[in-house]
Amino acid sequence: MKLRDRISSWLESKFIQAAASAALLAFMALLPLFTDNYYQNIVWNAFFYMLLALGLNIIVGYCGLCDLGYASKFAIGAYTTGILIKTYHWNFWATLPVSIIISIVSSVIIGLPTLKLRSDYLAIVTLGFAEIVRITARNLKITGAATGLIAIPRPTFFGIRLVKITHWYYVFLILVVIYIIISFRIRNSRFGRALAYIREDEDAAEAMGVNTSLYKLYAYVLGAVLGGVTGSFYAVKMTSISPGSFDFNQSVNVLLAVILGGMGKVPGVVLGAAFFALFPEFFRDIPVIGDMRMLFFGLLLIAVIIAKPQGLWPERNK
């Protein structure tokens, strides 16, 4: 056996994977004990991108639908929670179900008539919808217009008021673990396989009995719900939200994380998101490179899609 095969078969073994995951999780859980707020916030930001990327991954990576407006999905969650807390003085945890319901309703309204369209048309529809959400948020009084919502009160969790960055570090770490579990459960199920069949060949999937329109809608709604929940948590962590946080660049960043990470491969998507969150931190202070980072991402994106259309995460070997 070649060394490469040996390494990959070793990496594929369930035991090693479980041990590595446990070790990584333990490390992430202990990290706040020996880092300060600054670093915790950077890692928190990475967690935040992971949540977004894992949500979008259901739509793009699992089902192969191109969504250029994922920012609108988490904007909807963030504004729902923000408005309910600020204007109607709701408890944060009570806003979550509402956020989920509004995510479902809005994604069904937009998905139902358009998911039957070809993938490239769908990309533009999602982009257009995201712009509508953003412009609406900028123009309405209830969303705080261009300034957005500010001073959203922090929630409590079993009597602890979640004010410190360390609190949010753990809240988002738990969310990341939950999203990863959800992702794996979907991937290894009849439902998740059906999404993969649609991604690979929609006609053949339909011929095998997959109700492709319905399953695409499921994937789209599920991705929107995960995005909405992420947005709700984002709103109370940041305590302020504004239309600028949900623009096209944000959607593109998350999409790039999913695509470069390997479209549908969970570890790749998580790493891709971490890369996108951390990369600017490292290069922020270097004058020219910092400004040109999206230029490099653009070049990288072209190179990856041409050379390795399945993303950077290694493929299964056989």
Partner 1 sequence: MALMHVENLKMHFSGIAAVDNLSFDVQEGSITSLIGPNGAGKTSVFNCMTGFYKATSGEIAFMGTSLINIKPYKITEMGIIRTFQNVRLFKNLTVLENVMSGAHSNTKQSVFGALLRPAAQRREEKEILERAEHYIDYIGISDKKGYLAKNLSYGDQRRTEWARALAANPKLLLLDEPAAGLNHDEKEKLLELISQFRDELGITVFIIEHDIDLVMKISEKVIVVNFGKKIAEGVPEAVRKDPLVIEAYLGRDS
Partner 2 sequence: MFTFWEIVLQQFINGLVLGSFYALVALGYSMVYGIIKLLNFAHGDIYMAGAFTCLSVYSLISGYMPGWLGISLAMLAAILASAILGYIAQRVAYRPLLSAPRLSLLISAIGVSLVIYNAVMVMTNSKAMFFPGGINKSTGISYGHVTITYMQISLLAAAFAAMAALTVFISRTKLGKAMRAIAIDTDACYLMGINVNAVISFTFMLGSGLAAVAGGMYCVYYGNVQYSMGYLVGIKAFTSSVIGGIGSIPGAMLGGLLLGLLEAFGTQMLGSSWKDVFAFSLLILILAFKPNGLLGKPEVARM
318: partner contacted, choices partner 1, partner 2, none (Cβ within 5-8 A by kind) = partner 1
Residues 6+ apart with CB under 8 A from 187: 62, 196, 264, 266
Site for partner 2, residues 257 to 296, rule: CB under 8 A:
259, 288, 291-292, 294-295
Q: Where do we find the tokens 């969970």?
A: 266
Candidates 132, 189, 295, 305: give the one binding partner 1 (CB under 8 A).
Answer: 189
The number of helix segments (H) and strand segments (E) in the chain equals: 14, 2
| Amino acid occupying residue 39 | Y
Tell me: does residue 175 bind partner 1 (CB under 8 A). Answer: no
Site for partner 2, residues 193 to 212, rule: CB under 8 A:
203
User: What is the C-alpha separation between 183 and 226, in angstroms, rounded?
Assistant: 11
Q: x-or-dash pattern for partner 1, window 103-142, by CB under 8 A? A: ----------------------------------------
Nearest-approach distance from CB 9 to partner 2, in angstroms = 30
Site for partner 1, residues 215 to 244, rule: CB under 8 A:
218, 222
Q: Report helix, strand or coil for 17.
A: helix
Evaluate the CA torsion angle 117, 120, 125, 126 in order and state its sign.
Answer: positive
Candidates 127, 180, 217, 277: give the one binding partner 2 (CB under 8 A).
Answer: 127
Candidates 211, 282, 284, 291: give the one binding partner 1 (CB under 8 A).
Answer: 211
Please answer whether residues 242 and 291 qualify as being in contact, where contact means their C-beta atoms are separated by less than 8 angstroms.
no
Which listed range, 27-35, 45-53, 161-169, 302-310, lies at the site for partner 2 (CB under 8 A)? 302-310
E-assigned strand segments in the chain:
156-157, 160-161
User: What is the C-alpha separation between 91 and 84, in angstroms, rounded?
Assistant: 8
Site for partner 1, residues 247 to 286, rule: CB under 8 A:
none
User: What is the C-alpha separation between 228 and 251, in angstroms, rounded?
Assistant: 14
**CB closer to partner 1 out of 119 and 156:** 119
Which listed range, 89-97, 99-107, 210-218, 297-305, lies at the site for partner 2 (CB under 8 A)? 297-305
DSSP 8-state secondary structure symbol assigned to residue 145: G
Q: Report helix, strand or coil for 210.
A: coil
Tell me: does residue 160 bind partner 1 (CB under 8 A). Answer: no
Residues 6+ apart with CB under 8 A from 175: 47, 51, 229, 230, 233
**CB closer to partner 1 out of 25 and 196:** 196
Beta bridge partners of 160: 157
Nearest-approach distance from CB 316 to partner 1, in angstroms = 7
**CB neighbours of residue 127 within 10 Å:** 19
List residues binding partner 1 (CB under 8 A): 182, 185-186, 189-194, 196-197, 200-201, 203-212, 218, 222, 310, 315-316, 318
Would you tell me which residues interact with partner 2 (CB under 8 A)?
64, 66, 68, 110, 113-114, 117-121, 123-125, 127-129, 131-132, 135-136, 138-139, 203, 248, 252, 255, 259, 288, 291-292, 294-295, 297-302, 305-306, 309
